[in-house]
Structure 1
Amino acid sequence: MVRTVHCVKLKKEAEGLLTPPLPGPKGQWVYENISQEAWTAWQVHQTRLINEKHLNLLDRETRDYLMAQMDKYFADEAVDQADGYVPERE
């Protein structure tokens, strides 16, 4: 049976995540409020930031930066974009 959530990013009912994607209260909030579709879109954006900005995930400041960007992303606030990223043409 598919679990649905009211996704705060997409502003609609959508398929929810199977498990919390992060430990602790932040992960529980994402599990309860973010759809699989929105989480996947965030992961693509996060990966682009990591790759294009050459971020080191072992650095605590980098992880804090990504968490802040994630909060902004799901709140529909302006987020940093990857420098030099050009979307593929279809």
Structure 2
Amino acid sequence: MELDYEKFERAAEIFKAFGDPTRLMILKLLADNGSMCVCKIIEELKKPQPTISHHLNILKKAGIVKARKEGTWNYYYIVNDKVKEIIKLVDEL
């Protein structure tokens, strides 16, 4: 059996993105709300803008979230419904 290293490398990147409490809380907010303005995420989590931006960038690089621009604000949303299911399971732990 041949294993696809790149596939597992990609999976590891996704698991790393899930490996932080702040990122999990961001994903919980997005799962509950569909999409959110970055300003609302900052407000909800009571963390500074650079911290939230850092975590959102990691989630974007992993392909978990995307952003759409509306005016001067970026609205983030979860790309895959499977991620929402995972966040629901985490929330039930």
Query: Normalising by the residue count of structure 1, what TM-score does the alignment of the two structures yield?
Result: 0.26
Q: Which has the higher contact order (CA 8 A, sep 6+)?
A: 2
Quick check: which one's helix share is greater? 2
Quick check: which one's strand share is greater? 2
Query: Normalising by the residue count of structure 2, what TM-score does the alignment of the two structures yield?
Result: 0.26
